[in-house]
């Protein structure tokens, strides 16, 4: 059994709920700072290095061959297991090339990779759970997957979304309040039902 399958729904709910609450409380209480940070984020190269390295390392831990290193996160890729050796070598090379040569919107691309990686444990935690309100986690996860695909492939859309969100402070605060509400709902479900 993969470690993702052992994550209880309530643990995933606590982590997701608290993360959403903290981020959105910061966005509400320090709106000007948050807006300035988000405006700079898409082209922030140091954050890009960190995000891309973290996301690709996470992916690398999933595909590392068992004969090389016994990763607790290693996944069975079925008929693609033969590709693990090539991926073991290629992922660090591609990571270096991305960081060194694809500097444009690297932070957004790195966030996209992290979003794609983060959705899997959340979906695994909610899989086959009969608990009320459990759809809050898959809805967020599929939104994360969709956003992650666009952030990796068309990162300028992230910049455009940020530009739209911060164009009016009232709009930014309304979006932050919506995120805070979603986080409170997830945490409440984790505390009460999951």
Question: How do the domains of the chain map onto residue ranges?
Answer: 3-192
Please tell me the predicted confidence (pLDDT) of residue 69: 77
Residue count of the chain: 194
Tell me the average confidence (pLDDT) per consecutive run of 10 residues in the chain, 194 residues long: 82 95 97 96 96 96 83 83 90 95 94 96 88 88 97 96 96 97 95 86
pTM, to two decimals: 0.89
CA 174 to chain centre: 22
pLDDT number for residue 18: 98
What confidence score (pLDDT) does residue 67 get? Answer: 78
Q: Which helix (H) or strand (E) holds 28?
A: helix 9-29
CB-hemisphere CA count at 13 Å for 166? Answer: 18
Six token digits for residue 2:
């993969």
> CB under 8 Å to 41, separation ≥6 — which residues?
47, 107, 108, 162
CB 165 within 8 A of CB 118: no
User: What integer pLDDT is reported at residue 7 of this predicted model?
Assistant: 85
Please answer whether residues 178 and 143 qualify as being in contact, where contact means their C-beta atoms are separated by less than 8 angstroms: no
């Amino acid at each position: 059994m993969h470690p993702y399958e052992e994550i209880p729904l309530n643990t995933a709910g606590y982590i997701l709920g608290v993360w959403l609450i903290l981020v959105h409380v910061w966005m509400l209480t320090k709106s000007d700072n948050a807006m300035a940070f988000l405006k700079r984020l898409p082209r922030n190269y140091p954050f890009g290095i960190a995000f891309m390295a973290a996301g690709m390392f996470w992916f690398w831990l999933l595909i590392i061959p068992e004969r090389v290193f016994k990763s607790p996160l290693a996944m069975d890729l079925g008929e693609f297991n033969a590709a693990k050796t090539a991926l073991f070598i290629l992922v660090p090379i591609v990571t270096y090339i991305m960081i060194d040569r694809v500097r444009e919107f690297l932070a957004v691309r790195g966030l996209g990779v992290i979003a794609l990686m983060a959705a899997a444990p959340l979906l695994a935690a909610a899989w086959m759970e009969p608990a009320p309100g459990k759809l809050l986690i898959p809805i967020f996860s599929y939104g994360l997957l969709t956003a992650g695909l666009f952030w990796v492939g068309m990162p300028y859309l992230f910049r455009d979304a940020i530009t739209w969100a911060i164009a009016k402070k009232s709009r930014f605060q309304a979006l932050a309040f919506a995120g805070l509400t979603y986080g409170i709902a997830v945490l409440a479900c984790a505390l009460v039902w999951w």
